[in-house]
Structure 1
């Protein structure tokens, strides 16, 4: 939970908004004392199992298809180091700063749950790197989303042992030198720690957490843009009547209808044509609550999964107090002898007090499927927004008071003709985006024979989000321009007047043609940084 500019990491209460606070605003990270105790207890369990001499995956075996290769105790530290080195084989652009910070935070939060078996010094190093702004250079491509985001997390973790590279104050340094700027020395990894650091969904989860925050802002902006378009095209808000929503009670639809009513409250423009002879508005206006509402439901669905994933143990194997593993009678030990704590399942290893269980919590499918759905939802949000833009600029669809392409001198000027082209181009790109979670390429000699491609889904979703935000910015700009041709004696609604002013502070009316790319970027920025949402919240 966030308290001013401090996020307390406890393995249980991290939210997408906390991730944004740390990743984007540099909030300080603190580890809760209860979480520290859980980390210490988990490490003691690992050491107990190692000292018992049993073979346990991740502690003293090879990895992937080499799972049956036993590693001697004298080579365990080397095994963990080799794991980071070998898996740091990603490709593509380096992640940007906020993506790296999101990964660091989410990996830290997963480790402090106390099921990964790392030492306290490991989580302290991660927290200090965040607070001192030591940002590992992480290759963005290479993750299959199972066994988690291995390659990116390996690049991230190399810096902990003084290898790899990191940026500090914009300067790219060798790993050991970067640690030194924060007063840290490179770690020598103990048993289980290398695997615990790289086996998890933190690239996917970190990006998805930021996407949730961003998408909620885009949804709010789209509602404001749609409400403004409704006004300037002389549409009605009768479609937002609560009675309509009650007989089809989808949560998102009802929320958007209420939002449109609030945005257009006291609108003299809407009231001016309440008794006109138009029977119905076009779908892009009339069905706004249904479409925007369904998108909100999709974003909420992703938020739900992200909040669970942020506070989950996603590496493998996981280390439990033996009593935690006994809820399933099939895992109950038949005797008190060492090794029997795994019960009937030979893939779990344990002692009288502790048990290591191999599972699949690293598999990114719970996020991958929802991220792909999220892309579909954002595509629809952009598509209906672009259709409303067309209704404002298209001479064949416009209301009589609007000139072609919203320019006082059409023909000599093209006005808002081309921003609609750009919106159409961005939507085409979104529609062409594949659904990565539907793909699968077996790896590791067939041992890892089904993967989620969740990181690919996350990157596709990030691109779709950026496109959707730009399309909505185009609608806001177009709606503001159309407002210049509405009777200036008529007032906008309580919220649409705010949206108009926010746009006009970044972009003056277009009297004669000028390049609009900067205007589009500026309004998109006001959506992205939350300015529009904050200004609307203060008024509504």
Structure 2
């Protein structure tokens, strides 16, 4: 997309949202969008000056919805809601997630159904453009009546309150505004409510997870194929005819990728007539396990894309005469797929750890136990697998679905909530662990790969192995393996391994994408 993204007009995808948050894509408001925003704002002003009672415009909030607010107090009401709802606790939300919150809120409010003033949206956009990013605590949202607490903190700087990250330092918002010759905004009717009603906290974490989990899924195929080469496993379980008989799209996609990665491998060819009938499940069932996790990812991707282009405010302002109070702010449409994706991510780590264990067992010709020749005085790669096992176990404890719980709030007005904010944070925690689990498997798979020389694998796996070895040396005696894990994690989280795989595929005209790539790709 060469031209600026048009908030409230263009279709937002996870990739575009991330590009906007990272500053590689600019956003703007078209003249058509500005007209819609102004029209909606005028409609709210008319309601505030009239006699019709509309929730959040001239009433209190939550259980105070029957308390009528005078025309003179409607502005004070909106600033008070930001103050009163800023009750978050815990560590600060990562800055990229906060930027995603700003991006997704700008888009949702730009549809013109929230009564927000154009000047307010332009100020939010100013924060994003100038990298003056609000400080937001991680905890306090129940994921229903909007992500109230985190969104209240997000927009405190609009009225000169709260803190922001600017120039690499946490600073008081009012001081930063003064440095930039900006005045705090005076919020109009319904603006405070429009700002804090919505699912943007859940959505931001979900958008980030879509990219991160996709990266791990792509990596799991590559690293799993390297592990299979290390133990001289069979490529037969990835045959297309087998997977046509159980044609799940995710399974077929992974099986295709594994066939492609292992094609023309001397390692595979070296044992075609061996006596071993079947490999353990962690090798043989990669299409079924990785593929199922890809299907869970796809469901999350679809739900996130819908939410990115939705209005999650309440009430919805259709005109000065028509407004609808509903529940578009409820986080359940994201909470359930987030919990599903959490389980899917944990299972990718679970099977990865089992492959690491197989690599350590040795027993195959040329592959020493614990992946090191002189063991006894050396422990070899025994202990990195402990770290992997610990992370797998930790992920299991994080798999309880947050969306299975609901605690009534707002004196019973909000009697069912999604807890989707917890789902979003937990998924990213599990992905944090998964990246390190894959890092452990990767250094072990690369070590096993070395013992298969002078045989060569396929071009893509050879290039990935070469990249790993450019950062992490082969080990024939003990060293601080935490340093290796850290380097491997950097290769994983940066996307370098996947980029290398696709670059080599393109260079040699190898199709690594298959028929299902568009389904299972964030790009």
TM-score normalised according to structure 1 size: 0.91
CA deviations over 1:222-267 (Å, ceiling 9, x no partner) = 0001111111111111111111111111111011011111111221
Q: Which of the numbers 473, 476, 481 marks the counterpart of 1:511?
A: 476
**Residue equivalent to 2:328:** 361
- Are 2:495 and 1:530 equivalent residues in the alignment? yes
Q: Which of the numbers 439, 444, 457 marks the counterpart of 1:492?
A: 457
Please give the alpha-carbon distance, in whole angstroms, between the structure 2 residues aligned to 1:121 and 1:538: 45
**Residue equivalent to 1:276:** 274
The verdict on how the C-alpha distance between 1:455 and 1:136 changes in structure 2, with shifts beyond 3 A counting, is: same
Q: 1:412 Cα deviation (Å)?
A: 1.1
Please give the alpha-carbon distance, in whole angstroms, between the structure 2 residues aligned to 1:180 and 1:22: 26
**Residue equivalent to 1:429:** 394
* Larger mean Cα displacement after TM superposition, 290-299 or 13-22: 13-22
CA deviations over 1:155-181 (Å, ceiling 9, x no partner) = 011101111111101122221222344
Q: 1:271 Cα deviation (Å)?
A: 1.1
**Residue equivalent to 1:337:** none
Q: Which of the numbers 289, 298, 303 marks the counterpart of 1:291?
A: 289
Q: How many residue pairs get matched?
A: 504
List aligned pairs for 1:93-132, cutoff 5 A.
Answer: 93-132=91-130
Q: 1:185 Cα deviation (Å)?
A: 2.2
CA deviations over 1:318-360 (Å, ceiling 9, x no partner) = 1114xxxxxxxxxxxxxxxxxxxxxxxxxxxx62xxx111000
State the secondary structure of the residue aligned to 1:118: coil
Please give the alpha-carbon distance, in whole angstroms, between the structure 2 residues aligned to 1:516 and 1:359: 54
Q: Which of the numbers 403, 417, 426 marks the counterpart of 1:451?
A: 417
* Larger mean Cα displacement after TM superposition, 507-516 or 524-533: 524-533
Please give the alpha-carbon distance, in whole angstroms, between the structure 2 residues aligned to 1:467 and 1:281: 27
Structure 2's unaligned 5+ residue stretches are 506-523
Please give the alpha-carbon distance, in whole angstroms, between the structure 2 residues aligned to 1:406 and 1:141: 43
- Are 2:470 and 1:470 equivalent residues in the alignment? no
Q: 1:26 Cα deviation (Å)?
A: 5.5
**Residue equivalent to 2:34:** 36
Contact kept? 1:11, 1:311, Cα under 8 Å: no
Contact kept? 1:403, 1:410, Cα under 8 Å: no
Please give the alpha-carbon distance, in whole angstroms, between the structure 1 residues aligned to 2:434 and 2:478: 25
Contact kept? 2:41, 2:116, Cα under 8 Å: yes
Q: 1:11 Cα deviation (Å)?
A: 5.0
Q: 1:385 Cα deviation (Å)?
A: 0.6
Contact kept? 2:231, 2:359, Cα under 8 Å: yes
- Are 2:358 and 1:391 equivalent residues in the alignment? yes
Please give the alpha-carbon distance, in whole angstroms, between the structure 2 residues aligned to 1:181 and 1:492: 59
State the secondary structure of the residue aligned to 2:318: strand
The verdict on how the C-alpha distance between 1:363 and 1:478 changes in structure 2, with shifts beyond 3 A counting, is: same
List aligned pairs for 1:260-271, cutoff 5 A.
Answer: 260-271=258-269
Please give the alpha-carbon distance, in whole angstroms, between the structure 2 residues aligned to 1:294 and 1:317: 39
**Residue equivalent to 2:384:** 419
Please give the alpha-carbon distance, in whole angstroms, between the structure 2 residues aligned to 1:484 and 1:147: 55
State the secondary structure of the residue aligned to 1:495: helix
Q: Which of the numbers 222, 228, 231 marks the counterpart of 1:230?
A: 228
The verdict on how the C-alpha distance between 1:404 and 1:224 changes in structure 2, with shifts beyond 3 A counting, is: same
CA deviations over 1:384-418 (Å, ceiling 9, x no partner) = 111000000025xx423211110121111111111
State the secondary structure of the residue aligned to 1:249: coil
Please give the alpha-carbon distance, in whole angstroms, between the structure 2 residues aligned to 1:284 and 1:383: 9
Q: 1:12 Cα deviation (Å)?
A: 4.7
TM-score normalised according to structure 2 size: 0.94
Q: 1:39 Cα deviation (Å)?
A: 1.1
State the secondary structure of the residue aligned to 1:513: coil
Q: 1:431 Cα deviation (Å)?
A: 0.5
Please give the alpha-carbon distance, in whole angstroms, between the structure 2 residues aligned to 1:357 and 1:182: 39
Please give the alpha-carbon distance, in whole angstroms, between the structure 2 residues aligned to 1:100 and 1:154: 12
CA deviations over 1:275-317 (Å, ceiling 9, x no partner) = 2121111111111101000001111110000001111111111
- Are 2:279 and 1:312 equivalent residues in the alignment? no
Q: 1:7 Cα deviation (Å)?
A: 4.0
**Residue equivalent to 2:513:** none
State the secondary structure of the residue aligned to 1:535: helix
Q: 1:198 Cα deviation (Å)?
A: 0.5
Q: 1:210 Cα deviation (Å)?
A: 0.8
CA deviations over 1:45-69 (Å, ceiling 9, x no partner) = 2123223321100111000000000
The verdict on how the C-alpha distance between 1:535 and 1:184 changes in structure 2, with shifts beyond 3 A counting, is: farther
Please give the alpha-carbon distance, in whole angstroms, between the structure 2 residues aligned to 1:367 and 1:481: 40
List aligned pairs for 1:130-279, cutoff 5 A.
Answer: 130-279=128-277
Please give the alpha-carbon distance, in whole angstroms, between the structure 1 residues aligned to 2:383 and 2:94: 31
* Larger mean Cα displacement after TM superposition, 72-81 or 414-423: 414-423
- Are 2:375 and 1:410 equivalent residues in the alignment? yes
Please give the alpha-carbon distance, in whole angstroms, between the structure 2 residues aligned to 1:374 and 1:180: 44
